[in-house]
Structure 1
Amino acid sequence: MDEFKVKSLDLQFYNYLCEKIGTDELVRLRRKYYQLWDFLLTNKDVVVVNSGSKSEGLDLEGSDIDVMFLRKDITVYENEAQYRNKKPNVFIMITQDIKPGFTMLKLSKSSFIFRREIYNCSDIWEQDILLSNVKVKQLLRTKHAGYDLVHGPCITDNENNRDYAFCLRCPSWIRQARKLRGKSRVWPSPSVIANIEKYGTLFVPIGCKTSVTEEFEWRISFSVAEKLLIYSFRHTQMLCYALLKIMLKEIIETYTYSKGILCSYFLKTVVFWVSEEYRGDEWQPHMILTCFMACLARLVYCVDHSYLPHYFIPEINLLEDKLISNNATELTHLLNKFYRIGPQFLTYSKTLSNFAQHHISSFNIINNFNTLYHINRKYAMEISKMCYCQRCSNIKISKISKLSTKRRNPLNLNVCIFRICQFAGISNEINGKNLSLNKVFYEIHKQRLPYIILGLNADAASGWLYLATYLFSLNQFSVSLRIIDYALSKCTPDKLYCCNDDLHYEQLYDTEQQALKYGCLDISSIFRRHVITAILFWKDSILPIKRIYELKNRYDFTNSSLPPVVYAHYLRFLCFYRLYDGDNCRKCLHDIQLTIENGYFVCAHQKVDSYTCLAAAHLKIGDKNAAMKCLDVVDRLNVSTSFCVY
């Protein structure tokens, strides 16, 4: 096969993998999602660090997420000389007569234990106060109900959906770890090395199984360093890493005799070593098969010789005691067989089984756009619900607003961030406050309005309706009406309703398609131009409707998701009602009826809430007969309502 055909096959395979595993942009979006989780859940006591395949940017079958809780009030140093300022909860590493990769943590001679729970996790060993990894895991279990299983350094739930781990940090690069500087190499870059060494190392609660001091030993963890290395991967490197994981989970693990010998961490280490030795210009899309086979060759060599050095502590052989059974011999034969066959063996996997039927000559920007659109929708809702369920404090919300106003947002999950701002702006109840007092009025403005203004960027119209709702709650009816009219002008047939429509690449203007192709336009700009979302209210949101007795007794209203146009006309009705404009009130009722009947930005499952909303409006003006007709329609639809009426 000539060189041109080889490159062509490589590029076809690369584009195929981008569609199956994810493009570089999609991988970065997944990472940023978990970075945002870390950012939001971190508080004054604990830093949250997500690790695992999903936080690395992969979403393969069996991909997991591990949540590490880093205690801020406990610090580890390598020796007493590094610790000068007297402060509580400082522990010193003891590595003498301990297997490489592990350490005991003793209380510094110049320090003291400040918190009782830390005292309860410690014990005395040969006149030193040591932290017990067993007691720390017991403490973590008491704080997380349902996480009763211990899995290595982690606790996990009965379904093994997520692992939680307690960890500590040494703020310096320890001597036991090899020096990453001083050697001429392309990867990792000096800036990545500097960030790794600046962060230091972590310690997780698990000891060496063969050690007499197992209960008091902690494993040295390089989770953050490894994540920084993976974040520095070119996309070809990332795809090679994903291919090795697919090979393990979907091919090797299906053979009974080879199951449980290798793990994803070994594969990650292999890619690290190969990346260090390869030149940067070799990790190119047109060389992906060559790069993957180089990684496989290194894995075969390591298994053949039962030797795979830890990337950061090379004295540790990760394959020690792993390849001593007859099954290990079978695994060696299997890997050598795969290497002889070549990349074709990957079609044995479920994920990549249909490559032969795919003829992808170029990158499919349309599929990539659609995937990014759906992922952004999913992440925006998940982050918004998380913030609301956690009852975000003002500190947390202010962190979000700072992110959204930065010119270079380090997370760049703008769809999520602007969505959070919408809910932050309407989440606090303000009814009952004396708005006639200027001090109270401006206090409310100062607290809520900035978030709602930021939320205008989340989509084309719904953000404006949240703003109109907010102003209605402040009795600014005329201003609210003008904003509602502007929001309705955005609800044109060419817009996409996030409730039931999919936004497709072909629906964008030619200039927008070109801007997306060349990176001049991002997905949040597309949402702001083309997408309209439903109006969501939770129990204590600002919802401008007083509880209506007849509806309260007939239905259990807890939450609501209203069609935007229906809600816009209903809000207009309320404004005119408060302005004593009966003619316009009746016109708004007619507009609501027509909007529902024509299904204009109304999903089928939203008709119940829509008719209930219309019934509430009729009851407000005393028209019980019209209200009962609407409620009869609701009964005929035979769908339980979920609209919370205030």
Structure 2
Amino acid sequence: MQRLSESVFTGLCHKVGTPSHVIIRRDVVDITETFTNEILAKSACSMIVSGSHREGFRLEGSDVDIMPFPNNAYVVWDIDQAQNYELGEIFLLLCDSSESPPGYTLLRINLIRNMTGGLTNLYKKYLFAGFKINNNIYISSSKYKQFFGAFLQRGTEHGPCINTYVGGAEFDMALCVQCSFWPPSASSWIDRCHSWPQPHVVEDIVKNGCHFVAIGHKLGRLKDHEWRISFSQAEQKLVYSMNHSQFLTYGLLKIFLKEIINSGIATHDKLLCSYHMKTAVFWVIQQKAIPHWYPQTLLEGFWVCFKLLLRWVYEGVCPNFFIPENNMFLSNIHGVAQRLPFSRLYELYEKGLACLLSSPTIRPYVIKVFYNPRQYICTDEFNPRQSTFENLETAMFLHLDFMKEIYNSQFVSLPIQSGGIVSLETVEHLIGFPLTQYQAVWLQRVAALCFHRIPFLIFYRLTDTGANKLMYRVDKMSCHMLSLAAKFGCFSDTLYLAMRFFHTSRYMKALSIIELTKTKFAQSYAMFNNILVWLERFCQLARGKFSSVLMHITPVNINLHSCYYYMNELIPEQSVLKRSDNLCIPPLVLLYMLEFLCAIHTDSIRAQRALNDLHDVVHFDLEEYKDISWQILGICQQITGNLQAALFSYQQSLRQTPRCGIQTVTLKRIQDIIMTANQL
């Protein structure tokens, strides 16, 4: 079993992530949350990021959960805890668990405290979700969620969450209220923590209290009004405290659940979920059912967790890790409903570890050992038996993944979307914090985003007053900020400066920037296509600062924010975006579009060459955002008067995966071409 465990361990490192991959992901999500809450500090709410995405997983279907909560409302367990808050500043809610199942509670408004504290207006704001029991006013979880859910973009409710879209990315948003105190019903958990987690982790968890999520128990008498005690922050800290073998065991259980246990089952019939897997891992680690968690004992740990899960299903009892009295199977895997999941799990149990052969993800790593049982398997991230070249290659791809994390995290940090001085001030403030190298580079990227968004925002809001000296100063400052964006960010960020020059009819300056950017693109593609050249250049530049170097030599997509227009030619496409969305364009597509638009004013031959290059890129080189790329090709062809080619490009845009949501604009452009053709 040891050799088999090692093989599955290395396979999971490829699928789930190595220790370095997981550290990078967590660092980026942590700094994103910190940055966002620094900006939201003076507003009405804060938020925490939770779910498997926060824990460090990037498996298909890994959810990004956001838990927003009001800054001016706190929950207390007894009235004595109210003394910790200043009168007139905080709206207090008091727990009443007398009518609720374990793990759930009602939240009562403390009328005397809130009215005497000068919070009458705030009290009225919360009264929209109020209901009465015996002359006491409580906050209803369903009313609370219904009210705030109406403000979310394209929000659809499922369970405690509202599925919504922000900045073009999908999120599950669980509305909650914060509590600074550890629940009395979870005090037994503190007493159980003898060996895991470490005392400082326990102290940190207890110090940060808990949250209350707007969802009631399905079998509760007041299920529409109850709130569930959420330990999301505590769970995240527990997952962070796992060693990598424990984390991969958790990942293996998630894969096992998706690809084997729930395979072929309709969504509404899936009774087991990944939260049950996580709970099983927590219990097994704390009870020391496995004396040592190493790569060589990975499958032993997995099998112990699986047997615990099987026992829970047989008994119909899944004890919550923090409040064991809360049976998480009570509402769905209980009584007659136990039979089907138990028979399914017991059938897998009888197969033993051979059941893993049914997993498309794990099967190759199991078969690998059967074919060559004596093959050496290295479980180290950087293999001492590999050459320096191979280990450098591993480091290179690790940091390319880091660039992907940076890019994807932009959609999580909501305040960046509007750009502004506040974001830059926040970056300046956080620079003084103790940061990892990845978090420092993330802040560098945020600074670049601000530098190229602020100038466009200024010009969008600024009207030409005729004061030439003022306009000159503003233009000079804006160009300087756009240059800083390219300096702090990726080399493709120079295209924002080129857009600014094009917009102000400085075509030669724009073409000069474009030519410089094309040279850097050529160097970048040469490096990526020739690994030897890549690594040689990588070693010359890096000197240990891999992440910072990679940001300068890796192109990223260009995001045009919906709050202001960058180019007249793309106004229709930007107009259909929701306020928090971006129009995302591959950098080479925008480069050749800009070159074409500038060159038609200065050099017709160069304009045609740029159009040909754009045609080749759209036809052969793109893997994503093909809808907007075909659209841009059609716009350029329409400008030249080639209506037939433009019509074909627009039709191709409609056939692509709708990543940018521009179908209505594409149809309008097709109609315009048909009308123009009929008039000729």
TM-score band (shorter)? 0.7 to 0.9
Paired residue secondary structure (2:205): helix
Mapped partners of 1:171, 1:467: distance in 2: 47
SS of aligned partner of 1:342: helix
Offset at residue 270 of structure 1 (A): 1.2
| 2:271 is the alignment partner of 1:245 | no
Does residue 318 of structure 1 match 2:328?
yes
Candidates 16, 22, 35, aligned match of 2:17:
22
**Residues 446 and 601 (structure 1), Cα distance of their counterparts in 2 relative to 1, 3 Å cut:** farther
Determine if contact 1:435/1:474 at 8 Å carries over to the other structure: no
Cα pair distance change 1:379/1:154, threshold 3 Å: same
Unaligned residue ranges in structure 1 (runs of 5+)? 1-5, 578-584, 617-626
Name 2:204's counterpart in structure 1: 195
Q: Which of 454, 464, 475 is 2:494 aligned to? A: 464
Using the TM superposition, give the Cα deviation of residue 513 of structure 1 relative to its aligned residue in structure 2, in angstroms: 7.0
Where does residue 86 of structure 1 map in the other structure?
87
Q: After superposition, where does 1:403-422 map in structure 2 within 5 Å?
A: 408=436, 410=439, 413=442, 417=446, 420-421=449-450
Distance 1:240 1:419, change over 3 A: farther
Residue number among 213, 237, 258 corresponding to 1:204 in the alignment: 213
The answer to whether the aligner puts 1:342 opposite 2:352 as a matched pair is yes
Q: In 1, distance between residues paired with 2:87 and 2:442?
A: 41
Change (3 A) 1:388 1:174: closer
CA distance in 1, matches of 2:576, 2:82: 58
Aligned-pair CA distance for 1:280: 10
Letter in 2 for 1:532: P
The amino acid of 2:113's aligned partner reads S
The two structures have a TM-score, normalised by structure 1, of 0.75
Counterpart in the other structure of 1:118? 126
Deviation at 1:90, TM superposition (A): 0.9
Residue deviations 1:588-633 (CA, integer Å, cap 9, x gap): x5444445546799443768847966997xxxxxxxxxx55x7786
1:508 and 2:534 equivalent?
yes
Task: Give the count of matched residue pairs.
Answer: 601
- Is this contact kept in 1: 2:8–2:366, CA < 8 A? no
Counterpart position of 2:109: 107
Does the aligned pair in 2 maintain the 1:565–1:600 contact within 8 Å?
A: no
Give the C-alpha shift of residue 184 in structure 1. 6.7
Question: Which string of whole-angstrom CA distances, capped at 9 and with x for unpartnered residues, describes residues 13-35 of structure 1?
Answer: 11111223333344445555655
Q: How far 1:196 sits from its partner (Å)?
A: 1.8
> Deviation at 1:471?
6.6
When residues 477 and 542 of structure 1 are mapped into structure 2, their CA distance, relative to the original with a 3 A threshold, is farther
Any conservation in 1 of the 2:52–2:64 contact (CA below 8 Å)?
yes
Tell whether the 8 Å contact from 2:427 to 2:443 is kept in structure 1 after alignment.
no
**Kept in 1: contact 2:67–2:174 (CA 8 A):** yes
Q: Distance in 2 between matches of 1:280 and 1:447?
A: 60
Aligned-partner Cα distance in 2 for 1:638–1:145: 28
Residue by residue over 1:507-528, the C-alpha shift from the partner in whole angstroms, topping out at 9 and shown as x without a partner, is 6224737999xx9354552241
RMSD, aligned CA: 4.9
Question: Which one is further off, 502-511 or 289-298?
Answer: 502-511
Structure 1 residue 262 displacement after superposition: 3.0
Gaps of 5+ in 2: 370-374, 382-389, 578-582, 620-625, 654-661, 667-680
Residue type at the aligned position of 2:52: S
Q: Which amino acid aligns with 1:528?
A: H
Match for residue 621 of structure 1? none
- Give the Cα separation in 1 of the matches to 2:22 and 2:483: 30
224-233 or 395-404: bigger deviation: 395-404
Aligned counterpart, 2:362: 352
Equivalent-residue separation in structure 1 for 2:648 and 2:261 (angstroms): 55
Q: Select 2:7's aligned residue among 5, 12, 16.
A: 12
Change (3 A) 1:448 1:118: farther
Secondary structure at the aligned position of 2:237 is classed as: helix
Cα deviation, residue 190, structure 1: 3.2
> For residues 27 and 61 of structure 1, what CA distance do their matches in structure 2 show?
16
- CA drift of 1:345 comes to 1.0
Q: Is this contact kept in 1: 2:160–2:215, CA < 8 A? A: yes
**Matched AA of 2:305:** C
Query: How far off is 1:459 after superposition?
Result: 2.4
Determine the structure 2 residue equivalent to 1:153. Answer: 160
Cα distance in 1 for residues equivalent to 2:397 and 2:212: 41
Contact 2:431–2:440 under 8 Å retained in 1: no
**How big is the shift at 1:136?**
1.4
C-alpha separation in 2, matches of 1:496 and 1:173: 54
Measured against aligned partners, the alpha-carbon deviations of 1:518-562 in whole angstroms (never above 9, x if no partner) come to x93545522412x3356665677675x778xxx999xx9997766
- What residue identity is the alignment partner of 2:487? L
CA distance in structure 2 between the partners assigned to 1:505 and 1:449 by the alignment:
35
Q: 1:537 to 1:253 in 2, by over 3 A?
A: closer
1:147-546 equivalent positions in 2, closer than 5 A: 147=155, 149=157, 151-156=158-163, 163-178=172-187, 185-254=194-263, 260-278=270-288, 282-320=292-330, 324-326=334-336, 328-329=338-339, 331-332=341-342, 334-358=344-368, 361-362=377-378, 373=400, 376-377=403-404, 380=407, 383=410, 391-392=418-419, 394-396=421-423, 398-399=425-426, 408=436, 410=439, 413=442, 417=446, 420-421=449-450, 423-428=452-457, 430=459, 432-433=463-464, 449-450=480-481, 453-460=484-491, 462-467=492-497, 469-470=499-500, 486-492=516-522, 494-496=523-525, 508-510=534-536, 512=538, 520-523=544-547, 525-529=549-553, 531-533=554-556, 537=560, 543=566
Taking the aligned partners of 2:191 and 2:476, their CA distance within structure 1 comes to 56
2:114 alignment partner AA: S
Cα deviation, residue 317, structure 1: 3.3
CA distance in 2, matches of 1:514, 1:334: 56
Corresponding residue for residue 675 of structure 2 = none
Query: Of Structure 1 and Structure 2, which has the larger fraction of its residues in helix?
Result: 2
The letter for the 1-side match of 2:51 is G
One-letter code of the match for 2:103?
G
Shift of 1:326: 4.7
Query: What is the Cα deviation at residue 272 of structure 1?
Result: 0.9
1:596–1:602: 8 Å Cα contact kept in structure 2? no
2:73 equivalent in structure 1: 74
Residue 49 of structure 1 corresponds to 48
SS for the counterpart of 1:495 is helix
What residue identity is the alignment partner of 2:176? C
1:193 is displaced (CA, Å) by 2.4
1:270, 1:381 → 2: CA distance?
A: 31
Output the amino acid matched with 2:538: E
How far the C-alpha of 1:197 sits from its partner, in A, is 2.0
8 Å contact from structure 1 (residues 101, 220) kept in 2:
yes
Higher relative contact order (CA 8 A, sep 6+): 2
The Cα shift of 1:97 comes to: 5.2
* Residues 1:123 and 1:601: Cα distance change in structure 2 (over 3 Å): same
The offset of 1:353, in angstroms, is 3.7
Q: Deviations over 1:45-79 (max 9, x none)?
A: 12233333333333445543443221222111121
Name whichever of 632-641 and 14-23 sits farther off: 632-641
- Identity, in percent, stands at 22
Tell me, yes or no, if the aligned pair for 1:370 and 1:504 is still in contact at 8 Å: no
Q: Which residue identity is paired with 2:77?
A: E
Asked if the contact 1:178–1:314 (Cα under 8 Å) also holds between the matched residues in 2, the reply is no
Q: How far apart in 2 are the matches of 1:491 and 1:20?
A: 30
Per-residue CA shift, 1:445-473, capped at 9, x if unaligned?
6678547514434323x223434554777
| Alignment-mate amino acid for residue 107 of structure 1 | I
